[in-house]
Each structure stands twice: as C-alpha cells, then as structure tokens.
Amino acid sequence: MVRSLKSRATISVLCPTAHPGPLVSGVLEELRAVVDEVIVAADARVGAEDLGHYALVADRVLRYEHFGANRHWSWLTAQASADWLLLLDGDELPSGSFIEMLPELVADRRIDQYSMPIHWPWPDAATRLAAEPWQSDQRIRLIRNNGRTFFAGRKHMLAQAAFPIRYLDEPPVYHLDLLIPDVARRRAKVQRYDGELFGLLTAEGLPVNEAFYLPENRAAVASLPIPADDRERISRALEAPRQAPEPIDPDDLPLHDRATLARHWAGQTLGEDAYRAEVELARPLPAFAAAGSNYVVWVRLRNTGAARWPGGTDQQPLIQLGARWRAPGSEACEDAGRAMLPHAVQPGESALTPLVLGAPRHSGPTDLVLDAVHELVRWFDCPAILRVEVGPSVADRLADVRRRHGPVVPLDAVWQVRNAVEPRDALLQGIDASSPSRPSDARIAKLVEDLPVGEWALDGPTLDRLVDVVRAQRPSYVAEFGAGTSTVVLAQLLAKRHRRRRPRLISFEQDPSWVQRVRHELAKRGLDDVVTVVHLALGSGPSGSPVACYEMTQEGSRLLEDHPPQLVLIDGPSLASGASRLGVIDLVAPFLTSDATVLLDDALRDAELCVAREWDRRPDVQIDGIRLIGKGVLEGRLVAQPGR
C-alpha cells in the first residue's frame, strides 16, 4: 500500500501583548479550532488577572521584558514549533473569511509570506474607516517559519517583505484599538509614539500617529460597512469582561529578560564576548593559479561567542566569513572575498560555508587568512591561517605555450594547461582583457557597429580571424551554426567575392526570434540575397550522437546538398540551451564534396575542449590546434569522404 506523503501544514499564533485579558481571549478564542499552537507573550507589566485570561486561549504564556518597539519579534518567532506563524497583536481580530481561508493559504507551497489588509472599525463594530491612512494599511501577518524572516525591530515595522510574497485584498484582519473605550488612552499613545518616532506624515500631510489613532479630530471620514458576521464577532470580542479565570501569579512564569531578547534582535550592540569563533578548513584547498577567480573553499565556522548570527546578507548584525591573502611575514592583506552564513548560527553551533574567492595577483607561497567578520565593525581576530603555493596565472601559462608553439597551439598542449588549473572554464581566465573589442578592419567595424560584439557574440579578434580566412581561402559556400554578427560579416565578404548575387551562406540558428532579427539586419544592409537563415530546433542530434544537438530538417539537408561548404563556422548551439556542438560535424560531413575548413568558437571553454577532444579521435577530422585569441578559436579540417 502506498501512503500519501501529503500532510497538513501546522500553524502557530504569536501574540505579544499587554492588552486587557478579556479582549485578548476574545480575539484569539475562535482561532483555537484551526491552529495548532497559540503562544501569548505577556509584557512583564501585565498583572495576574490578565495573565489568567491569556491562559484560557494560550497553549503557552510567556513573560518578557519590553525594551523597545517590536524588538521582541525575532525572539518570539524562535519559540514557535509550527510550519507557519500568524502574527497578531492583542487587539487584532482575524475576519471570519480569513479563518476559513487559513488552511488553503498555508497549503500553498509557492508562497512564504502573506500581506493582508488591516481594517480599522470606527466608531462602532458596524463600520470601518475607508479613507487614508487606514485604507492603505497592509501588513505581513502570515509567514512561513523557515528562519529567513527578518524583523527590523523598529516602530511600525514588523516582518520585512521578502519574495515569494502574496499581497491580498481580502480577507482582512480587524484592528480594534479605536473601539477600546478611553480616548485619553489614545491621546497618550499618540504623544508616546511621537516621542519615539517624530516627524512622520501621511500622504495628506497629517502627523501619522494622530491620523491613525484620533479619527475624531477629522471633520469627516469616509467609511464602509463591515459584514454582518464579522460585526457580531467584533462585538463579542469587545463584550464586558467575562467571569474572571483563576489568576496567575506573574512570579510563577519565567521572565525572558532584555538580554535574552537582545540576542535575537537585529539592532543589538555586540559585546566583546560575542566576537569569538573557531574557523577551520572543512575540505582540501583547490589548486590556486595567480589572478584566478571563483575558487570554492569549504570552511566550518563555529560560533563560540554569546550572540546569535542571523545569516544571510541583509540581517543585522551582519556576520560573514571573510578571506584575505597575505604575503608570508607581511602584515598587509589583500581582500579575497566574503561568504554569507547559509543559516542562522546560535552560540555553540557551526555552519559549513562555501567561500568563493579570487587568487592573489602573484604566484608563489602565500598565506590564506580565514576569519569571521562583523561587516563595517571589525574582524573577530580568530583566524585560520593556511599556507598556499599559488601557481602561475592562466594567462602566463597560455603565453608560455604560445611562445613554444606559435599562434596556433596544439590541442594536447592546451589540455595540459587546463589539467593544471581550476575551476570550471578556468582557461577563460587567461583571456587578454586589453584586446580590441571591435574588428580591426574599419569597413567591417562600420558594418557591425550596431550589432553585438564580444561576450556571447564573436569578439573583435575572432571576427578579424574569420575575415582573414575568407579572404585567403575564397570559399564559394559557407555553412554557419549560430547566426548573428558573424552572419552579416560573412555575407558582406561573400557578396564582395562573388559578383553573382545568390545564396552563398547557409546560417543555422536555434532561436526563431533571433532568426527574424538576423534576417532583418541582412535586409537592412542589402545582403539578404546572399544568405539563407534557417531555423533548426534542438533535439537528440544526429543518429548515434550521445548528446543533444540541432535536429536537421529537410530544408537544411537540401541547402547543404546544393551548397556543399568549404568553410564551416561553429558558434552554436548556445551553451545555455543545454545542447552541445559535438554533433555539428555529423550534420555537415555527408554533404561535403571537398575538404572544408572548420572553425569552432569559444574553444577555451570546457564544453568546447571536450568537443575538440572527441573530434580529434575521428578519422575525418584533422585539428591544427587552438588559436589563442578571444575565447579561443579551434582550427582544423573536415575531410570529405570518398564517394561524394
């Protein structure tokens, strides 16, 4: 029998409050049937009778020492055990429709947070305020308990909005503060709030605290009716005090003091006892090459101090893992990189952390210094110091093989360099960043001035080489895989070479929108009669090919049959497509009537190096080597088979 893996998401209600006990029990009692846990955190100033009312609806009543607006939320969320957290103040009543929707909301695995409208009933339970600022009051009240939620711990600021979040127009939560008798209390609240955060104005220019809490100061305020069922629920919550339950002596409940809460608060000031850590290498170091980048070092960082590290890149205190390079015997350091902590780390816990860093500029023995850092404050000064032998840079290694072999380096020599360095696509670190970004031929540069050159398109030196090959070999027909800037250049060269204007270039492209773009660029330059641009979808590739490639069509086969190429340029399919260029040779080979020159762009990339190695094993491919320009250009010949 197969058991379902589906289970209902659990919900914890978190209610920090100092509100009257009957009100708190009134707003929370209906939630008991649909949630798994109710935690009421009572301000330390709450008395025994109110604590007794809290206990009527709470699974746990906690006492905490208030030490600033909203500074308790990070601590309180750490007390919850459920999958989701419903955040409510003691005077907030979820609407009936919200309670009905709650199971559906927490069942949606795509969402981590829900922000919902807060409705303010006034002057009674029958109507709610519909003008500003109340109409736009929208707050995050339901969050997934995944440890990633950030609380700023400031006045009027609760959970920070974070993707994936859903903003709801309905259902609302009712804020009952304006219905609690005693206008004097609300006036005192306005004065207190102004003292904590003065100078906030609404869009209409009114002081925000007065605008929210003293609607009677406005001459007229728009309102809307509250649904009948919610009206009754609000009235029940505001009824005269129920029969008092057994009081709870505050001293019978442990008090969570300010120091305890501060360990969770984002704005805490760390003491000297917080800056303690143990840093150790968790896995062997990679082989560093000078001036290289994107090396991954695995580090285990243990929190041996007194403060919680929240993790991430935007939560304070921002504790990260840092790396520096230092010459042996020197005090001067060179920054090598930072890594965020992948999760919150409590005192006594550790985090296995991948650190992506760059190598020092120079080769030779170097110290790698790993340490925890409180960003913009200080280093922990608990470093792990590792002696590293940094090898020659990729650029220096490639320059050496170029000196020994000339501009076209044998494939074996390129592989020797690749096997000596890390990480993925390491040879691209040897690209000369100072090489020209545009073609050196002024006419060609003018031709492609509004087209992409470099990055994912052919770069300037590679286009220069393409121009040299066409001018030297004067091919009648050219096949190209991967249309773009090179298509325009080849079309111009073939149009100049051959007076009879007819298709000389067959350009195959995987992206149908890019096919249209290239056709447009050719027509704009009057070159569309020299080129046929064909869309080839990606698929399983040629018969027997182990990897995906282009799927040749009848149209493509016919064009190659009628125009057997003497030059084949391969710059597609794109690496991002998940397909390989390995099978392109098999698409062209059956149609050759004579040997064809093959140029493969991006030849220093790992994927293309693997393609080149496989081609080199074929009897019908002769590889001259890789020209060390741009991202590398493999040059070779595809030998026509007898019988064509």
Between 400 and 203, residue with greater pLDDT: 400
Q: Indicate the DSSP class of residue 110.
A: T
Q: Which residue(s) pair with 183 in the sheet? A: none
pLDDT at 6 over 70: no
The confidence score (pLDDT) of residue 150 equals 74
Residue 502's pLDDT is: 73
What is the distance between the alpha carbons of residues 457 and 602, in angstroms, rounded to a whole number? 10
Statement: residue 186 has pLDDT above 60: yes
Question: Is the confidence at residue 2, as pLDDT, over 50?
Answer: no
320, 350 Cβ separation under 8 angstroms: no
**Amino acid code (one letter) for 603:** A
Instruction: Please give the pLDDT value at position 240.
Output: 59
CB proximity list for 455: less than 8 A, separation 6 or greater: none
Mean pLDDT of 24-46: 94
Q: Which residues have C-beta within 8 Å of that of residue 55, sequence separation ≥ 6?
A: 61, 245, 248
| pLDDT exceeds 70 at position 154 | no
Average pLDDT of span 91-102: 96
Residue 437 vs residue 209, higher pLDDT: 209
Strands (E), 19-119: 37-43, 60-64, 84-87, 92-94, 113-119
**Confidence at 575, pLDDT banded by 50, 70, 90:** confident
Q: What is the pLDDT of residues 476-520, one digit of tens each?
A: 999 999 999 999 999 999 998 766 667 789 999 999 999 999 999
pLDDT score recorded for residue 263:
82
Contact between residue 441 and residue 453 where contact means Cβ atoms under 8 Å apart: no
Structure tokens at 111: 């969402």
Structural domains in the chain, sorted by start: 11-123+137-178+228-237 (3.90.550.10), 272-390 (2.60.40.10), 409-638 (3.40.50.150)
Instruction: Please tell me the predicted confidence (pLDDT) of residue 218.
Output: 87
Q: What is the pLDDT of residue 3?
A: 46
Reply yes or no on whether the pLDDT at 5 is more than 50.
no
Q: Is the pLDDT of residue 543 over 80?
A: no
Q: Which of 306-310, 414-418, 527-531 has the lowest mean pLDDT?
A: 306-310
Residue 304 has a pLDDT of 98
Which residues have CB under 8 Å from 616's CB, separation 6+?
A: 411, 623
pLDDT at 159: 79
pLDDT score for 1: 43
Q: Can you give the pLDDT at residue 528?
A: 92
CB 385 within 8 A of CB 369: yes
CA distances to 254, 273, 614 from 261, rounded to whole Å, are: 13, 17, 62
Residues paired with residue 384 on neighbouring β-strands, in sequence order: 370
- Model pLDDT for residues 318-345, shown as the tens digit of each residue: 999 999 999 998 888 999 999 999 998 9
At residue 308 the predicted structure's pLDDT band, cuts being 50, 70 and 90, is: confident
Q: Residue 423: pLDDT above 60? A: yes
Q: What percent of the chain has pLDDT over 90?
A: 75
Q: Are 143 and 11 in contact (CB under 8 A)?
A: no
How many CA atoms lie within 13 Å of 484's alpha carbon, on the beta-carbon side? 20
